[in-house]
Amino acid sequence: MTAHSDKYIADFTKNIGEVFDLIFKFTKNPPPSPCESTFRSSSTLRQEQIAAPIGFYQAYPGLSVQDIHALIADSKSPSAAAG
């Protein structure tokens, strides 16, 4: 982790740490509360970021934002409405 990401996480938890405390009440093996003081430790931050993501939802797999915008524009064209 870089100093920039350490500062980002510290600022994030400082501003919404209470929300994390509430969310972590419903998770398995939550960090100690309050989150603000827990996440100030760089070693804790690194441990929490080790886990691999479990997956992401994609509404339009394989399409770029530009592709989606083009499809929306095509569906709104007069020729699309006539067909």
What is the reported pLDDT for 13? 72
Q: What residue segments make up the domains of the chain, in order of their start?
A: 3-82
pLDDT tens column, 44-64: 555 555 566 667 778 888 999
Q: What is the mean pLDDT of residues 65-70?
A: 94
In whole angstroms, give the CA distance from residue 19 to residue 67: 36
What is the reported pLDDT for 31? 75
Identify the CA nearest to 40 among candidates 7, 82, 83. 7
Query: What pTM was computed for the model?
Result: 0.36
In the predicted structure, residue 9 carries a pLDDT above the cut 80: no
Burial tier of 30 (Cβ tally within 10 Å: 0-12, 13-18, 19+): middle
Tokens of 42: 């760089």
What is the reported pLDDT for 37? 65
Range with lowest mean pLDDT among 8-12, 39-43, 77-81:
39-43
